[in-house]
């Protein structure tokens, strides 16, 4: 069962900025987009939209962008 955090968008919110805020990596925006199929993909999100932000396993967030020898379990 997937866990989610709810996020109410503010003026100026973007998918990549949400990924940076929640995951520490702006490139990890895809899980947020996938969890919110009814929200249009535009440069900026409308204010007042309730989004679901998936809680990712620590290994996914920490290992993103690291060379294979620095990833957990390697």
Residue 39 CB neighbours (<10 A): 17
pTM of the model: 0.76
Q: Which residue in 71, 43, 69 sits closest to 58, CA to CA?
A: 71
**Residue 57, pLDDT score:** 83
**Residue 11, pLDDT score:** 96
Task: Write the pLDDT tens digit of every residue in 8-65.
Answer: 999 999 999 999 999 989 999 999 999 999 999 999 999 999 999 999 987 555 556 6
Total number of residues shown for the chain: 74
Q: How many Cα atoms occupy the beta-carbon half-sphere of 58 within 13 Å?
A: 2
Q: Which residues contact 19 (CB under 8 A, 6 or more apart)?
A: 25, 26, 27, 28, 29, 32
Find residue 6's DSSP bridge partners: 52
The domain ranges of the chain are 4-70
């Amino acid at each position: 069962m997937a866990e989610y955090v709810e996020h109410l968008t503010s003026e100026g919110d973007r998918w990549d900025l949400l990924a940076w805020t929640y995951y520490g990596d702006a490139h990890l925006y895809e899980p947020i987009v996938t969890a919110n199929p009814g929200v249009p993909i535009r440069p900026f999100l409308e204010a007042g939209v309730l989004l679901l932000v998936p809680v990712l396993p620590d290994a996914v967030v920490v290992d993103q962008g690291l060379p294979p020898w620095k990833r957990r379990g390697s």
